[in-house]
Amino acid sequence: MRRLLLISNSTLHGGGYLDHCKDQIIAFLSNSVQKVLFIPYALHDRDGYTKIAKTAFNEMGYDLDGIHEHKNAVDAVKSAQAIFIGGGNTFRLLKTLYDEKIVEVIRERVTKENVPYIGSSAGTNVATRSINTTNDMPIVYPPTFDAIGLVPFNINPHYQDPDPNSKHMGETREARIKQYHEYESSPSVLGLREGCILLVEGDKATLKGKTGARLFVREKEPVEYQPDDDLSFLL
């Protein structure tokens, strides 16, 4: 049974790293996990990033080490009790996942061996069908935009609603997602606002966190969902 905790953002205004979702992480991992494998590929400073993540997980009662601290990334994933992929640049992250040959290994461990997966921001993006709806700049080029595919739809973390008082005349996030949906093969896109989380347990998906989400389906009007709403139909 796949178990995913897909978080929009690592830091919420007024709090520290993962502060807004620590209760959700503890409930998700429970006592079945002692150590978490952290994948810091989305940022350049892997040691510094791992230190930040380790401090947060230690406070929650879990040990954590970075995948780059292991001799072999594939072996590290194969032995992981739980996987956490943090945010940063989604293109850098996905390219490195392919470079290290662990995309398929992660998919197998999560979908067939029930290894819990936590993603935040870019880590949430790569858990979906593709990274086509990321907000990031393509600073490097992965071999494909196809992601790990733990869910059959896309997510847009950090989703922002248009500000009616803004004088900005550029495209809104909603407009860009609708442009993506001009292509027939494009999947649904779940816009997770800051503080929003999607919990997936087997074939059940539930919205969690402090804010709601906006679902975009090709050729349909967007629909709003609130925490505790059932989104299992997306699976």
Structural domains of the chain, ranges and CATH numbers in brackets: 3-234 (3.40.50.880)
Give the integer Cα–Cα distance in Å for 30 and 37. 16
Q: What is the pLDDT of residues 64-119, one digit of tens each?
A: 999 999 999 999 999 999 999 999 999 999 999 999 999 999 999 999 999 999 99
Task: Give residue 7's pLDDT.
Answer: 98
Can you give the pLDDT at residue 166? Answer: 73
Ranges of the chain whose pLDDT falls below 70: 169
Decide: 69 and 78 in contact? Cβ < 8 Å: no
The answer for residues whose C-beta is within 8 angstroms of residue 81's C-beta and 6 or more apart is 32, 33, 34, 35, 36, 37, 115
What whole-number distance in Å separates Cα of residue 128 and Cα of residue 155? 7
Number of residues assigned to the chain: 235
Please report the beta strands in the chain, taking only residues with DSSP state E, as ranges in sequence order. Answer: 3-7, 35-39, 63-66, 83-85, 117-120, 154-156, 189-192, 196-201, 204-209, 213-216, 223-225
Please list the active-site residues.
121, 136, 158
Angle formed by the axes of helices 103-112 and 90-99, to 10°?
A: 90
pTM of the model: 0.96
